[in-house]
Structures are given as structure tokens and as C-alpha cells.
Structure 1
Amino acid sequence: MKRILFVCTGNTCRSPMAEAMFRVKTAGQGYEVRSAGVAAFDGQPASPHAREVMAERGIEHVHQSSRLDEGLIDWSDVILTMTSSHKQAILTYFPSAAGKVHTLRDYVGVEGYGDIADPYGGSLEDYRRCAEELEESLDRLSMRLIQERFRKSP
């Protein structure tokens, strides 16, 4: 069982969308998936636009935000951040995470700009574009994990 943690700022837009999308994409494949924010307030729902975009994709995800803490760091096998500044914040406050924290786009080999754009406060279309960016990276993540599993099998 591989435990994957997606991290953004407030855990109301990007990381809960990534969590929900990846959970659906890999259902039954043995992954545990969670999300958190480096500056989240516990218990907040996902933003209305994030919920609407997930509904448009047929994904139901009841979400309450979680602030990143030592327990989530310890729980995770891999931590995938939405931006390089999230990664840097984690490394600053949780140096023990150094071997398992990566930006999502770098981890899956997306060339160029490594950040997933923040749709917070934007239009529904901004959230749709964010979901498209996430979809591309999550497809690559799924393939990478399948390849890793294949390499480890006897």
C-alpha cells in the first residue's frame, strides 16, 4: 500500500481536487490518498468552484481541509506539492520529509514550469483549467506508479 499526500496552501482547491481525482483514477489499486495545506484551517469545505468542477467530472468528494502536520508527514510515503514554494515550506518545517517531498509536476516529469496554477478566487473556468493541469499530471503519476510496481514485482 502506497500512501500519497497532495499538498497546496489552504487545502480547499488544488490538493482536494488532486486527491479526489487520483482516488477515482486508481480505485482498487492499493493506494491511500489524502490532502493537506501548509496554511490550512482545519475543517473548511472545498471551494464551491472546486466542488462544481469535480461534479462536472462525475466525482463526488466530501472534503474538510486539514493543516499539514507531523502525523501526515509520517503517514505518507510520497508528498506531492502543487508548487515549489509548498515544497520549500515543507522542507523548512519538516526536514525529515526531505526524501519524500516533490512537486507533482517534477515528480511525474513535466518539463518547464513546475507549478500547478492556483485558481483560488478565480472563475469557474480557472478551476476547469486547474483540473486539466491536474489531470495531465495525475495520468503521468498513475503510469509512474504502475511502472514502479512492475519493476518491484518478482
Structure 2
Amino acid sequence: MKHEIHCKWLDTVAFQAEDDSGHKIIIEAGRKFGGKNRGFLPKPLLLVSLAGCMGIDVICLLDKMEITLTDFNIRAIGEMNDAQPRYYHKIHLVYEFEGEELPIDQVEKAVYLSKEKYCNVSALLSKGADITHEIKIMESKSSTE
């Protein structure tokens, strides 16, 4: 398998990236480097890729386990090292699941399988970062009314 993206320079320190399916995103340096706050900074975009990859895996695994969610969010907190080149040496993922009587053991299994077996982004980033996670389960809002 191969992916190809094209990054077109827009102006100053901004690029528009397009994948081979035609999806587009703007990537830009921060304001102190001349950015105009029009798009993602490159490093946080890595966190987006990680959360998206893990989220897709977890949703697919829970679907196979016939577990229904009413809501699901992932927050990714990346901690950078101090020296150049700067990179995330710690990444903490917070999984927030909502549903009725969600089986914690199966939810934990889905998160574990994503991190350890299926998520290629996690496999890549874990070479340089300690990736940890926590799971929060909330009852559905409809069941608490």
C-alpha cells in the first residue's frame, strides 16, 4: 500500500495538503514564525492522526463486539521535549465513552487492541513517545433524565 499527498505552498508559511482522494487541509507555522492561524500546526496534526486512527479502530472493534455507544470522544495531550529537534516524548489519550451499561472490560480490550495491534500511527509514534491512556465511561444522558 502506498499513499501520496501533495503540499502546495499558499503564501508565507502556509501549505495546503491534498491526499490522493482529493481531501484538503491547511498546515501552517505558528504566528511567531509568520503564520496567520489558518490551519493546523504540523506537530498537533500528528495528534489528530493518532486520535483518528485509534478512534476508528475502537469504533470498529466495539461494533464487532455489538456494543452501542451514544457518544465517543478522544482527547490527545502531547508533551514536547525541550531540545531540538522537538518532538512529543509523552502522549496521553483520554477516551470518553457514553452509553448505557457499557462493559468496561470490552471497552478496555478495544482500546488495548487498537494501541497494541491495529493502529499503525500508534506503532509509529510509540517509537519515540510514551503513549498512555485513560478511559472514562459516562452513562447516556437519556438514561439520567
- TM range, normalised to the smaller chain? under 0.3
Higher strand share: 2
Larger radius of gyration: 2
Q: Relative contact order (alpha carbons < 8 A, sep ≥ 6): 1 or 2 greater?
A: 1
Higher helix share: 1
> TM-score, normalising length from structure 1?
0.25
